[in-house]
Chains A and B, each alone.
Chain A
Amino acid sequence: MSECKRDNKELGRRSFLTKLSFWLGGISAGIVTIPVIGALLQPLIKRKKQVWRSVGKNNDFEVGKTVLVTFEDSDPDEWAKTISRTASWLRKDNENEYTAFAINCAHLGCPVRWEANSELFLCPCHGGVYYKDGSVASGPPPKPLTRYMVRLNKGNVEIMTQALPITTLKDG
């Protein structure tokens, strides 16, 4: 009887210590993991507020011409300013109206070039071609070139920054 009692006590003790080890180990691992997951998911958690960027004065641009303008991304970190720039193909449609296209091909994101003589945007990667209004002329792109919001503000032409345009399945 005392033998049985001791065995039961031993089993209970072992079970308790096993549970204790697993729970405390799990809690420790969980606590350590939380800030790492925070760092891992930062791109999805900490979205940046988009801002207007000036790309030149209204008087600087010629009606009918498509030119390349560059601007700083929204809220770039100090140490990354040299890399945090984006370009846009900007066309002055008339004295007070502009169209701004992303340079990213809607197929797989490669930079497209404007060929003024052909009035076409051409992509070097997979042969995508767009007409001057950004619509697809030929090749693999599933949708037109992404556009930026443009406005005139006290004589300055401003483009609203935006996230890298990503073509999703429902676009294709």
Chain B
Amino acid sequence: MKKRMLKIWDWLDDRTGVSALVVPLATHLVPPGAKWSYVFGSATLFCFMLQVVTGIGLSLLYQPSVETAYESLKYISNQAVLGSWLRGMHYFGASGMILLMGIHMIRVYLMAVYKFPREMQWITGIVLLLLTIVMGFTGQLLRWDDTGVWSAVVAAEQLGRIPLIGKSIAYFLIGGETIGGYTLSRFYAYHVFVVPALLFAFTAFHVYLVFRNGISEPPKRGRLLGKEDYRDWYEGMLKKEGVPFFPFAAWRDVVFGTVVILIITFLAIYKGAPELLGPPRPDSIYANPKPDWYLSWVFAIFALMPPKIESYVIAFGPLIILFLMFAVPFLSKRKERHPMRRPWAIIGVVFTVMVIIAFTVEGMRSPWSPKFDTKPLPADIVDNSSAEVVKGAQLFYDKGCLYCHKIGEYGGARGPDLTQIEYRLTSSEMVIRIVNGGGNMPAFGGSLSESELAALVAFLKAKKADK
């Protein structure tokens, strides 16, 4: 029996050439020092395969029409057999892919792998990063909930800032001049056909380049190799001390990849994909569109940037960043690869990561958003010994001041905290600020009567939040 199976396999293998193709790939030599820091690229690939598989699963249940998309996703999340697990894996797989891709990119940059002869690996890597982010964004719209649909409007507005053709590109993105049936069709086509096809093509090319140029050796301080001598040195090093990729390096990839899959599974089961926020209504004013976490930092930058320069930053910022990223292999002429001999690379990476993390945290907090759901101030904060003060407290809530200002633990963070305002400003200074506005505060002179103004000031002077 075993002999017969072997015979069958031998016949198949001879006719199809599977071994002749696979074995050289699996056993190609790699530097022996390539260890755990090298696993992130293949982990990203694991996530991509997970996304393809779970995406196919979702496509068996999801109904891409404007009337059924949202309801079918609710069905998947709440009623389909293991549906919430499936959807959760797809969501966290996307997050995982972006996170691992970022780490992979940092490792590659710090070890100068983008230098000769692997420039094209860096370039194709940037393309893959962009395609992955586009997948994340188009996937968010396909939830076809209020946030998803309104996010398409926000994206269209950003594209609209592109000089000359911005408006056309914006309408191209949403499939027409208003959100409609074609918006969903278009995003479905992008997310399920167009971008995945490009991802497959560029991933295959990226991996092919790894085989062609070899996996990079851990850099060594002072080892300066360039166009004239790197390839010869690399071949010699492999001959002398290279090890077959499978199983000596591959096992780490599989171990780490498995850990990643398990973490994603755990998150899918216990945390679950984002809650669906009601069916899409382009005529609703209650949507509060926000991107998923990995684009939160961009959202924060939009809110915090000086308005005067913002349109130019939206228009040209991405182009400049893209240009610089693609230019990395060509900007550096030095041969040193070790991070410790390239301090500016380390500083640049740390700074960039810190900036992105800081803006991501701020983006998730969104302190610039008015706090529409705030409640009236409780009696122990309002000094109720005076009718005017009580009136002022009521006005503070009714006029929406509390949306933007905090008193004690109540209110929003758009404007300054007013808990101790009575020690910082005199009554007349308060009047001037309320009437004229200033900074990010609108002028209320036109909507407050003199007696209302006096009541507000009386309240601000007399409140008990800090006593």
Interface pair A73/B447, CB less than 8 Å apart: no
Interface residues of B in 285-308 (CB under 8 A from A): 285-290, 299, 302-303, 305, 307
Interface pair B369/A124, CB less than 8 Å apart: yes
Q: Please, how many angstroms separate the alpha-carbon atoms of A166 and B173 in the complex?
A: 12
Interface pair A110/B289, CB less than 8 Å apart: yes
Q: Does A113 contact B (CB under 8 A)?
A: yes
Interface pair B65/A79, CB less than 8 Å apart: yes
Cβ contacts B167-179/A at 8 Å (1 or 0 each): 1101110111111
Which of these, B166, B176, B182, B186, contacts A166 with CB under 8 Å? Answer: B166
Cβ contacts A95-135/B at 8 Å (1 or 0 each): 00000000110011111110101111010111101010000
What is the interface of chain B mostly: helix, strand, loop, or mixed?
A: loop
Cβ contacts B291-327/A at 8 Å (1 or 0 each): 0000000010011010100111011000000000000
Q: Please, how many angstroms separate the alpha-carbon atoms of A149 and B27 in the complex?
A: 70
Interface pair A111/B285, CB less than 8 Å apart: yes
Interface pair B181/A80, CB less than 8 Å apart: yes
Q: Does B62 contact A (CB under 8 A)?
A: no
Interface pair A73/B180, CB less than 8 Å apart: yes
Interface residues on chain B, size class: 35 or more
Which residues does chain A contribute within 8 Å of B186, judged by CB atoms?
A: 43
Interface pair B302/A85, CB less than 8 Å apart: no
* Complex: chain B residue closest to A71, CB-CB: B283
> What distance in Å separates the Cβ of A53 from its nearest Cβ neighbour in chain B?
12
Q: Does A31 contact B (CB under 8 A)?
A: no
> What distance in Å separates the Cβ of B231 from its nearest Cβ neighbour in chain A?
34
Which residues does chain A contribute within 8 Å of B162, judged by CB atoms?
A: 169
* Given A43-B177, A163-B177: A125 touches B288 (CB 8 Å cut-off): yes
Which of these, B156, B168, B170, B437, contacts A138 with CB under 8 Å? Answer: B437
Which of these, A104, A127, A141, A163, contacts B368 with CB under 8 Å? Answer: A127
* Complex: chain B residue closest to A120, CB-CB: B442
Which residues does chain B contribute within 8 Å of A131, judged by CB atoms?
A: 442, 446
What is the interface of chain A mostly: helix, strand, loop, or mixed?
A: loop
Q: Does A167 contact B (CB under 8 A)?
A: yes
Instruction: Give the one of B307, B310, B403 with max A CB within 10 A.
Output: B307
27 A-B contact pairs sorted by A residue (CB < 8 Å): A41-B172, A42-B175, A43-B171, A43-B186, A80-B182, A83-B149, A83-B280, A84-B179, A85-B282, A86-B178, A86-B282, A87-B283, A115-B400, A124-B369, A124-B370, A126-B368, A138-B437, A138-B442, A142-B311, A164-B156, A164-B171, A166-B167, A167-B161, A167-B311, A168-B160, A172-B161, A172-B311
Interface residue ranges, A against B (CB under 8 Å): 41-44, 47-48, 68, 70, 73-74, 76-77, 79-80, 82-87, 103-104, 107-113, 115, 117-120, 122, 124-127, 129, 131, 137-142, 163-164, 166-169, 171-172
